[in-house]
Chain A
Amino acid sequence: MSGVFAPAPGRAPMRSVVASQIRMELTLTARRGEAVVLAMGVPLLVLLGAGLTEVTNVPGDDRLAFVVPGVLALTVMSTAFTGQAITTGYERSYGVLKRLGASPLTRPGLLFAKTAAVLGLIVLQLIVLAGVGLAVGWRPHFEAILPALGVTVLATAAYSGLALLMASLLRPEATTGAATLIYVLMLAAGGIMFAAPDLGTFGWFVLPLAAHAEALRQTLSYGGSVPTAIWLSLATWAVVFVTAAARKFRWE
């Protein structure tokens, strides 16, 4: 019987460590599938409410061309920021992060896995919502999909970084409260359901939701390109918050 526990320590290749962690994150997300569906409820209501009725004022004649990209951007924020912050906050309070910190999974490995898992979920949600948009008459320019995906990846990284940073600095209850509050404020100020005061380039830098939504409108709805200022804004948000999260992320 002897020899079973003879030490043979070592880390699996980092790629497979991160891949298993992503798989676990996705498994657990699927397990609370009802929460995922509910998370799509608000965007769906906004899409149908603001897109198909005249309840709000939106710029231009084509309501769906304005509203659908905004809803897609809102979903990205909802999942990558609000959902991520709340989940991570509770994982900290359950001690899950501490347990992972006592394993061969490294800090960048965990942050990457969490962001990648959230990106996977977002892709699914966006396909569903874009499908609903198409069904009710949104006519996107598919040839502009690559830059749209590019800004979406940047926005996801920025939101996820901010979420992980908040979950590191605040208690889980405070994280939940703050994440929800920021979600509501962004929704109100971001010009998703109705035309918000046009803050121009400045607005894109302070409101990543507004920047992301505008980039998706310019590309998907109007077949144009992403304004440089938006690339800059989202890239800055991503670099700043991913770096801050990597520096400040605590296991305990």
Chain B
Amino acid sequence: MVVRYGDTTAVDGVSLTVPRGRVLSLLGHNGAGKTSLLQVCEGFRRADGGTARVLGLDPMDDHDALMPRLGIMLQSGGVYPWATAGEILRLFASFAATPLDVDMLLDRLGLRKFERTRWRRLSGGEQQRLSLAVALVGRPELVFLDEPTAGMDTEARHTTWRLIEELRADGVSVLLTTHLLDEAERLADEVVIMRSGVVAATGSPAELTAAAGIDLLEVRADPGLVPDGRLADLKVTEPTPGEYAIAGALDAAVISDVLGWFAAKDAQVTAVNTRRRTLEDVYLALTTGEKSKVSR
């Protein structure tokens, strides 16, 4: 897919597929092209190149047939400022053939006490929760969530995460955008990291971090050992006496070699610790321009 705004290319040849009943997370900074991609999938604009098929339909040409099957949570706004939370949710429920129980949804999202509160009096996080409820009330088979937890407090965020996990368990497919690493790591079956309109990496959170390999080997042993030619390919430091930090291409053979070197030095090794890269390390490496090998 390609999406352009004038001379700016917001989405530059991205291909992705959301498998049924799975959660795919689009991860990237603001301006990475996440929302533009969603806009096309939601039928609000046409792609300037490529195609989007949503549940086998064209999001623009088949708008009327598609919308009842989708749950869409927009990034912000989108509600009558003078309508109450209850009125808004009931309006969208009334559009659906077999909607969810509105009261249940209000309870689940902690919105019961705001049922008679007008939209404009709700806080940002409360508005987000109501938007999520509106997206879900029609019992959709596919939901698009554009930064669903932006502006939510920690508790609401966890409530939302549990809800998204439940959606997945019930067979709903989810495409969500986020710039929160922990959100993607916790929820996503597959993460697509976008940077400047292109896919920087894709994979499950585990694959993305595993592909990046082990970052650091920490060894506690006798202090003052001086590395020699046998460890020439690695960067060995001793930040505190007796605590060695070894960085480099650390596969199993190299690690065993490193431990062999300590043994050859007659050093008493009392602790060995490997530190793997987190999704955050991968993400930062990819999105701040550093060359990385994690793409599959």
Q: How far is the CA of A2 from the CA of B80 in the complex (A)?
A: 33
Decide if B169 touches A12 in the complex (CB within 8 Å): no
Q: How far is the CA of A54 from the CA of B29 in the complex (A)?
A: 69
- B168-202 contacts to A, CB under 8 A, are 169-172
Decide if A99 touches B74 in the complex (CB within 8 Å): yes
Question: Pick the contact of B170 from A4, A9, A24, A104 — CB < 8 Å?
Answer: A4
> Total contacts A to B, CB within 8 angstroms?
118
Decide if B79 touches A96 in the complex (CB within 8 Å): yes
Q: Give the distance to chain B from A199, nearest Cβ to Cβ, in Å.
A: 41
**B294 contacts the other chain (CB 8 A):** no
Whether A5 touches B94, Cβ cut-off 8 Å, given contacts A91-B80, A98-B44, A104-B67, is no
Interface of A is mostly: loop
Interface of B is mostly: loop
Look across to chain B and name the residue whose beta carbon is closest to the beta carbon of A91: B80
Decide if A24 touches B91 in the complex (CB within 8 Å): yes
Question: Pick the contact of B95 from A1, A32, A103 — CB < 8 Å?
Answer: A103
Total count of chain B residues near the partner, CB < 8 A: 42
Binds A, one of B138-146, B223-231, B249-257, B285-293: B138-146
Decide if A101 touches B83 in the complex (CB within 8 Å): no
- A1-32 contacts to B, CB under 8 A, are 1-12, 16-17, 20-21, 24, 27-28, 31-32
Look across to chain B and name the residue whose beta carbon is closest to the beta carbon of A99: B78
Q: How far is the CA of A181 from the CA of B81 in the complex (A)?
A: 26
Whether A95 touches B74, Cβ cut-off 8 Å, given contacts A2-B170, A3-B170, is yes
Question: Pick the contact of B87 from A8, A16, A24 — CB < 8 Å?
Answer: A24
9 nearest CB pairs, A to B: A10-B97, A99-B78, A7-B141, A95-B77, A95-B78, A102-B72, A20-B94, A11-B68, A5-B170
Q: Footprint of B on A, CB under 8 Å?
A: 1-12, 16-17, 20-21, 24, 27-28, 31-32, 91, 94-96, 98-99, 101-106, 251-252
Known A-B contacts: A8-B139, A11-B97, A16-B94. Give 14 more (CB < 8 A).
A1-B166, A5-B166, A10-B97, A20-B95, A27-B83, A27-B87, A94-B77, A95-B78, A96-B77, A98-B78, A102-B42, A102-B67, A102-B74, A104-B96
22 A-B residue pairs with CB within 8 Å:
A1-B166, A7-B69, A7-B141, A7-B171, A9-B138, A9-B140, A10-B68, A10-B97, A10-B138, A11-B95, A12-B94, A12-B97, A20-B94, A21-B91, A24-B91, A95-B74, A95-B76, A95-B79, A96-B78, A98-B74, A98-B78, A104-B96
